[in-house]
Amino acid sequence: MRESGILMHITSLPGPYGIGSMGREAFRFVDFLSRAGQSYWQILPINPTGYGDSPYQSCSIFAGNHYLIDLQALLAQGLLREEELEAVAWCRREEKVDFGILYENRLRILRLAYSRFADWERLKAFCEENRAWLLDFSLFMALKERYQGKPWYEWPRELKFRDKAALAEARRSLSQSVRFFSFVQYLFYTQWQALRDYAHGKGIRIIGDVPIYVPRDSVEVWCAPQLFQLDEELMPTVVAGVPPDGFTADGQLWGNPVYRWEAHKKSGYRWWLRRLAFAGTLYDVIRLDHFRGFEAYWAVPYGEATAKGGVWMPGPGMDFFRAIQRELPRLSMIAEDLGFLTEEVLELRDNTGYPGMKVLEFAFDSREPSDYLPHTYIPNTVCYVGTHDNMTMRQWFETSSQESVAYATEYLALTKKEGLVWGAIRAAMASVSNLCVVQMQDYLNLGAEARMNFPGTTSDANWTWRMHSGAANRRLAKKIYALTRLYDRLGTQKES
């Protein structure tokens, strides 16, 4: 079945209080997707943001990002008051998220909601249902608060090494703080389920992202250090990254601890199966980040200033994916098969049966393989104009070499009347890929100001773009619908 979707993270929605949320605008965006004939809404990880405000550097693989909680819903429930929210200047510019302001104010506001909360039976039921991850997460957050945000590896030694008596004392002395952080997760998941149910009712499925790595300062590394390449003092021996390429002379030094894959295999990949099973309850399709790292990963000695000194090390390979397909046979996944690809990586992807990604922007760049040209695609792929890690299509046309733009113009039969960006979208929609996903920024014909992320960098240019209110309007939906219908991508959406 041929289908299409739109890529835009929840944080990029318009609305009050400084960041897109799971509130009214999210429901309106689902309506927009339905009117536009789309089958999917692709988002980025919904876990708490971490270093550099990145959703790919989260302290938990299970917890939800409290910045996404709709505060207007809490107003309606009587848990917050208008004057409390109006007392905060939530952003400097409506079109840009200010994570500093959120960091200083969001939890403080949620504590006010907690002070008025009374439905303890529902909270208790939520805590019991999510006990397997929530107990450790809530304690982790309470301890971070006690130690002024320090990472767990800088806590007192008995807590760093998870001494049972020390953990029991912490749970007792921080019981109120632990319950508060559990309450925050209750709010998040109550709202997330409502949004997802609404999307399903409109025929919209969610594509969610599962990052390959977790940061060192995460619940997962604190609770299960034996699954990561750490020494006896819990210091990383090697960290993750990618080698130098045509885009980055030094490579990208991500800094995440890498997995001790032999330990995962010995356990039957229990940690990963639990992670993916949970993700499968949140999303309808999982985009598995950095797929090539499961065939071989770039390991950089801890302490190196760049990623240049790394080496390729073998990943778990098909043994890992056989375990997933055996234990979680209904899990639907997309392989993020970008980056430095070898025959071994391509073979692994093909053996899994997962669709890979085709990024149209890469097709006309001499630094990338030519198999991104649409005439080379096969149906079992997902075609993207660009992703959150790329330029917007308009930016690409404005900044690429004359030769690349001329090649794209000729190949895609682009005209000024149609518009260069809409011509590129047309080509993606016309491809044989079973699924076509287009960034919202490209449908809005936005330039460099709307780029979502610059990989390997940290700045307030990353993760902060927000769509203007009213941009996702009926006129645009009608135009997208016409293109979607023309190229037989309405999928299960009924014509209207």
Q: How many CB atoms lie within 10 A of CB 246?
A: 9
Residue 316 tokens, joined = 């778990």
> Distance between CA 451 and CA 57 in Å, rounded?
19
217 is known as an active-site residue: no
The catalytic position among 95, 304, 389, 418 is 389
- Number of alpha carbons in the 13 Å side-chain half-sphere of residue 480: 27
The answer to whether 428 and 411 are in contact (CB under 8 A) is: no
Q: What are phi and psi of 487, to 5 degrees?
A: -105, 25
* DSSP code of residue 154: G
d(CA 344, CA 161): 39
Q: How far is CA 408 from CA 64, 96, 399, 429, in A?
A: 40, 31, 13, 16
Residue 445 to residue 442: CA distance in whole angstroms: 5
Active-site annotation holder among 25, 336, 337, 361? 336
d(CA 290, CA 336): 6
Q: Catalytic: 347?
A: no
DSSP-derived secondary structure letter, 493:
P
Beta carbons within 8 Å of 457's beta carbon, 6+ residues apart: none
Nearest to 201 by CA among 34, 437, 28: 34
- Rg of the chain in Å (alpha carbons): 23
Q: pTM (2 decimals)?
A: 0.96
Which of helix, strand or coil describes residue 290? Answer: coil
Q: How many CB atoms lie within 10 A of CB 351?
A: 12
Return the amino acid letter for 175.
Answer: S
Query: In this structure, what DSSP letter does residue 10 have?
Result: G
- Mode of pairing for the β-strands spanning 252-257 and 333-335: unpaired
Q: Is 389 a catalytic residue?
A: yes
3-state secondary structure of 267: coil
The alpha helices in 328-401, defined as continuous H runs, are 343-352, 393-399
Task: Give the pLDDT of the chain (496 residues) as one tens digit per residue.
Answer: 999 999 999 999 999 999 999 999 999 999 999 999 999 999 999 999 998 999 999 999 999 999 999 999 999 999 999 999 999 999 988 889 999 999 999 999 999 999 999 999 999 999 999 999 999 999 999 999 999 999 999 999 999 999 999 999 999 999 999 999 999 999 999 999 999 999 999 999 999 999 999 999 999 999 999 999 999 999 999 999 999 987 788 999 999 999 999 999 999 999 999 999 999 999 999 999 999 999 999 999 999 999 999 999 999 999 999 999 999 999 999 999 998 899 999 999 999 999 999 999 999 976 555 799 999 999 999 999 999 999 999 999 999 999 999 999 999 999 999 999 999 999 999 999 999 999 999 999 999 999 999 987 888 899 999 999 999 999 999 999 999 999 999 998 864 4
Pick the catalytic residue from 98, 289, 337, 361.
289
Rounded CA-CA distance 311/300 in Å is: 7
DSSP structure class, residue 3: E
Contact of 204 with 40, CB cutoff 8 Å: yes
Locate 59 and state its tokens: 């302290």
Question: Between vectors from CA 275 to CA 127 and to CA 440, what angle results, nearest 5°?
Answer: 100
What tokens does 248 get? 């980055």
d(CA 33, CA 493): 10
* Strand 252-257 with 311-314, pairing: unpaired
